[in-house]
Structure 1
Amino acid sequence: MLVEDSRINVAILAVPEVTASALFGMFDLFSSPGRDWPFIVKGEAGEQRMRPYIVARTSEGFQAANGIWVKPDFDLNGCPQPDIVCIPDFFVNPGESVSGQYDAEAGWLKQSHEDGAMLASACSGAVLLGEAGLLDNCDATIHWGYVATLTNNYPGVKVKVDRSLVLSGEAQRIVMAGGGSSWQDLALYLIARFVGLKEAMEVAKVYMLQWHDLGQQPFASLMGFRQTRDAAINKCQEWLAMNYRTHAPVAAMTALSGLPERSFIRRFTKAAGMTPLDYVHALRLEEAKQMLETTDMPIEAIANETGYEDTSFFGRLFLRKTGMTPSHYRLRFGSLGRALRHE
């Protein structure tokens, strides 16, 4: 007599460009609920509550982006009906369209959603949700470096880059995690939602995972990369990179450009994607972040080094742009530098 499998089916979608750490890391975490905690505390594995499997366009093996071998358990047409579909991040050029490259995966995702599955993406995996037509006029999140990949290609999508997780769609059956290792947050959330909070906490303790409650803001670069053919603006950007401490740098760049002030501001904003003053602050704060990460300089000295005479203004601006005070940022991100300096 066959015993019905009561485990929750978790399909993890793999494409050849997939990031192997997220793919196999998700597999490990979804295999853990119910099984690993009893093994750790009692020496005997418990009953596994979730059933992860890797699904791809074809069940034939392929090399992932970093060269590691991936052998899917099922192809798109032959896999068990999933309760959850997870989409790990994969390599895609920031801002570029992938239209037509993943039609089979997009169609399968759309059908899985219509059949009642919860869809969950990590980092750039959200692009495949967009290809499936599931992000139009919806809230979303993605790695801070890939915001333009969504906004350039899917109508009306509203990217909440400051949030670790974003729930969207009917009955909140679409969930997206922002960047990098946020697939860990995504897995813990899904375990809590489908198995239970207790089991999610047990998995977090077994794997020593920390919830990224601060979101992406402290990790994100404040400098947006924008290519421009405007030689006058390029010249000003190059000058500012070496002279960001200068008093009244916007006035100095305006003079350097040889343009009327209004024309300079308009052309700079169009070329750089932000106003000249915002660009100055972004450049200064990126330098300040690096100093906080790699030196023991007092915060007042860092403020002065990056062009701010008023340390309190520097602190307020830093908090507004990064979501953390300079002291908290140093505590969070300076530990590796301190370890290297104190070897």
Structure 2
Amino acid sequence: MASPLTDRPMEIAILTVAETTSSTVYGMNDLLCSAGRDWGLITQGQPGTPLIRPTIVSTSGEPMQVANNGWIMPHRSLDADFHPDAVCVLEIAIAPHSDFAIGMSEEIDWLQHYWRKGGIIAAACTGALLLAEAGLLDDQDATTHWGFCDFVSRRYPKVRLHPNRALVTSGEEQRLIMAGGGTSWMDLGLYLIARFCGVEEAIHVAKVHLIDWHEVGQQPYAVLSCGRKAEDAIIAKCQVWAAEHYDQPSPVANMMALSGLSERSFKRRFKQATGMTPIEYVLTLRLEESKQILETSDMPIEAVAEAVGYQDAGFFGRKFLQRVGTTPTQYRRKFQNLRRHMGAGKRCPASLCSPHPGKYQ
């Protein structure tokens, strides 16, 4: 069976740099190789015709040591005449707020050239930062790993970022495709297979590899607050107070009284220092602590709500769903079971498990 769109396998390049993680590169390589081939092998004992030919590329084409002491052997080097059907830029192991693009000018130039020639560019996790650095995401919808969204918003203010979405397509003719963080590169791979080879083939590959689509996005996996401590000494003092007293009534009014500032000045300085309004900050603290309680105890939902400062369990549930993307019960089922399967023992202190120390340790 040939690809429904061409008489040859689709060529999808996987672009590698020194900061690339080898697991995502070879994982995507294997996933794309599976399209058209493995379903017949498993169900009928005969491999089918491969529909996608992945090509691992780098600027030099030479074997290279990458992140985490991995090694990658590219299939070829980049050049101006190389025009695959699509190119993937996967996870790059960098720290948020770093000058990661130093040394990547050749890759950025190639991506810009490839885009101008009508190419399709897909990115997973922090690979999207390379697209943003190339200017390809200006005035476009985008997503990336939840831990880098604050960095992207600050460094690339023209990007319309969707932190909660696991997959975003945008740009002219939807030629920009981005997946969120972690294993969402699998979602990206399935999407590419569906786009080039058909939905049925993507479902076959998902079944072969036991892949669950991240239909609820990144929200359940994300830490809601970045844990940034304010440089403003007065606001930092309020943060410390909030970390221990977020469950008390009227926490914002209490912080404002502690600051000694007028209401207008307090709210302005708090937002400037933390990136959140005071009420958003308290909500984040409460929800992060409730996530920890749900993961590590069988406390009834009503009791969890009360423990973090909400007398109305229904209101708590609505806020939880809005910010986390699942109901408290669904969240507990997912992550409590994960902890149990992994043999987790006592609940770790909130000071270790979350950016803000909690009261229920």
Q: One fold, TM greater than 0.5?
A: yes
Residue 330 of structure 2 corresponds to which residue in structure 1? 328
Kindly indicate whether residue 47 of structure 2 is the aligned counterpart of residue 40 of structure 1: no
> Which of 290, 298, 320 is the matching residue for 1:288?
290
- Asked if structure 2 preserves the Cα contact closer than 8 Å seen for 1:54 and 1:73, the reply is yes
> Which of 119, 123, 126 is the matching residue for 1:124?
126
Name the CA shift for 1:155/1:232 in 2 (closer, same or farther; >3 Å). Answer: closer
> Which of 93, 103, 106 is the matching residue for 2:105?
103
Cα separation, 1, equivalents of 2:55 and 2:81: 9
Name the CA shift for 1:57/1:225 in 2 (closer, same or farther; >3 Å). Answer: farther
Which moves more between the two structures, 126-135 or 146-155?
Answer: 146-155
- CA shift for structure 1 position 12: 0.1
> Which of 155, 158, 162 is the matching residue for 1:156?
158
Cα separation, 2, equivalents of 1:284 and 1:155: 29
1:1-343 pair list within 5 angstroms: 6-77=8-79, 80-339=82-341, 340=343
Cα separation, 1, equivalents of 2:180 and 2:202: 19
Which moves more between the two structures, 324-333 or 201-210?
Answer: 324-333
- Helix, strand or coil: the match of 1:12? strand
- CA shift for structure 1 position 176: 0.7
- Helix, strand or coil: the match of 2:288? helix
Cα separation, 1, equivalents of 2:110 and 2:80: 11
- Helix, strand or coil: the match of 2:252? helix
Structure 2 gap ranges (5+): 1-5, 346-361
- Helix, strand or coil: the match of 2:255? helix
- CA shift for structure 1 position 78: 8.3
Opposite residue 204 of structure 1, the aligned amino acid is: A
How many residues align? The count is 339
Residue 357 of structure 2 corresponds to which residue in structure 1? none
TM-score, normalization by structure 1: 0.93
Which moves more between the two structures, 144-153 or 206-215?
Answer: 144-153
Which moves more between the two structures, 143-152 or 204-213?
Answer: 143-152
Percent identity, please: 50
Name the CA shift for 1:9/1:197 in 2 (closer, same or farther; >3 Å). Answer: same
Which moves more between the two structures, 151-160 or 214-223?
Answer: 151-160
Opposite residue 185 of structure 1, the aligned amino acid is: D
- Asked if structure 1 preserves the Cα contact closer than 8 Å seen for 2:59 and 2:106, the reply is yes
Q: Point out 4+ residue stretches in structure 1 off by more than 6 angstroms.
A: none
- Asked if structure 2 preserves the Cα contact closer than 8 Å seen for 1:83 and 1:116, the reply is no
- Asked if structure 1 preserves the Cα contact closer than 8 Å seen for 2:229 and 2:236, the reply is no
Opposite residue 105 of structure 1, the aligned amino acid is: E
Structure 1 gap ranges (5+): none
